[in-house]
Amino acid sequence: MVTKRATKTDAGKAASITIGQLAKRAGVSTSMLRFYEREGLLARPARSASGYRLYPGSAVRALAFIHRAQRLGFSLGDIKRLLASEAGKGARGHTVVGIAEQRFIEIERRLTELLVLRHELELFLDDLTEQVGRAAGGDTARIYRQLVDHVCGHEAQRSAPGTVHRLIKRLGCALASVEQDRVFAALRGRHMHVWKEADGYTILVRDRSAAVQAALERLVAAEAGCDVHVDVELATTADGLQLRVRGDNAFLYAQLFLTLEAAP
């Protein structure tokens, strides 16, 4: 039996796949593959002698990367830059990391709004429970409390302290330079309200003690000249000490104080 020896040309053909085969492996339509080509996400393939598209095997991995990035909300332009960096051309490494981190920060902003809303709704339900208890008596109040606990859960989910501190460091925030152990220790476990406003967040700490005021004043002083936050103000109100943070990255303060309140 004579075995045909594979040539380099034969090996190259074996390593290539048609558009139909690639679409099947990647779980997309052939029209989507052509769209990716037009957008520059996939390199234009070679053609067979009969004119069929022939893709390299690496195209399957590239498509998996594109789909993952799309699920995470990256734009096609950003995905193109990420692919170019992976191929060793185009954007530099620090630029690509910046693109990914910016997407992460956008998600953190949106998450913070939900965490703040959840926090305030829990406090509202607690107040409502007390009012029901006073008006309806013991048994009714107990049943209502059980329903609220069942709906809300026993403990609110906070953003992990490590996540907040990583964000602070990434953004070059002045909070990273304060004496965190001493300042944050005075704020841990304090009862507070946090709410979103059009241009930032407001944090109301229900405590006007000298230690809490000194800690908040230290945070405000740390922000002097910082480009990350537009404005930070501290005021004394009838309900406690109120910190107003304005700017695109004010969500850092909201996350930080939610984490501090939940800390033992």
The answer as to whether 32 is a domain residue is yes
Question: Are residues 36 and 142 part of one domain?
Answer: no
**β-sheet with 53-56: strand ranges across:** 16-18, 53-56, 46-47
Which residues of the chain carry a pLDDT beneath 70? 1-14, 86-94, 132-163, 179, 225, 227-230, 264
Look at residue 23 in the predicted model and tell me its pLDDT. Answer: 92
Question: Are residues 257 and 138 part of one domain?
Answer: yes
The answer as to whether 184 is a domain residue is yes
The answer as to whether 22 is a domain residue is yes
Question: Are residues 114 and 195 part of one domain?
Answer: yes
Look at residue 156 in the predicted model and tell me its pLDDT. Answer: 45
Pairing of strands 53-56, 46-47: antiparallel
Question: Are residues 155 and 182 part of one domain?
Answer: yes
The answer as to whether 3 is a domain residue is no
Report pLDDT digits (tens) over 55-86. Answer: 998 899 999 999 999 999 899 988 988 888 76
Question: Are residues 247 and 127 part of one domain?
Answer: yes
Question: Are residues 84 and 109 part of one domain?
Answer: no
The answer as to whether 1 is a domain residue is no
What is the phi/psi pair of residue 34, to 5°? -65, -35
The answer as to whether 169 is a domain residue is yes
**Sign of torsion over alpha carbons 246, 251, 254, 256:** negative
Look at residue 151 in the predicted model and tell me its pLDDT. Answer: 53
Look at residue 110 in the predicted model and tell me its pLDDT. Answer: 92
Question: Are residues 207 and 122 part of one domain?
Answer: yes
Question: Are residues 185 and 228 part of one domain?
Answer: yes
The answer as to whether 46 is a domain residue is yes
Give the pair of three-digit tokens for residue 18: 């048609």
Name which of 36, 256, 57 is nearest 160 in CA terms: 256
Q: Answer whether 157's CB lies under 8 Å from 87's CB.
A: no
Question: Are residues 258 and 136 part of one domain?
Answer: yes
> How far, in Å, CA of 125 to CA of 139, rounded?
18
3-state secondary structure 144-211: HHHHHHHHHCCCCCCCCHHHHHHHHHHCCCHHHHCCHHHHHHCCCCCCEEEEEECCEEEEEECCCCHH
Question: Are residues 136 and 18 part of one domain?
Answer: no
- Whole-model pTM over 0.95: no
End-of-domain residue from the set 64, 91, 118: 91
Look at residue 134 in the predicted model and tell me its pLDDT. Answer: 61
Give me the numbers of helices (H) and strands (E) for the chain, helices first please: 11, 7
End-of-domain residue from the set 72, 91, 110: 91
Name which of 237, 248, 244, 206 is nearest 105 in CA terms: 248
End-of-domain residue from the set 48, 66, 91: 91
Question: Are residues 115 and 87 part of one domain?
Answer: no
**β-sheet with 192-197: strand ranges across:** 192-197, 200-205, 240-246, 231-237
CATH of the domain at 27: 1.10.1660.10
CA-angle at 260, arms to 258 and 264, nearest 5°: 125
Number of domains in the chain: 2
Give the pair of three-digit tokens for residue 210: 């000298």
- With 0-12 / 13-18 / 19 or more C-beta atoms within 10 angstroms meaning exposed / middle / buried, residue 129 is middle
The answer as to whether 96 is a domain residue is no
3-state DSSP assignment of residue 23: helix
Q: Which domain holds residue 228?
A: 101-262
- With 0-12 / 13-18 / 19 or more C-beta atoms within 10 angstroms meaning exposed / middle / buried, residue 133 is middle
Question: Are residues 230 and 159 part of one domain?
Answer: yes
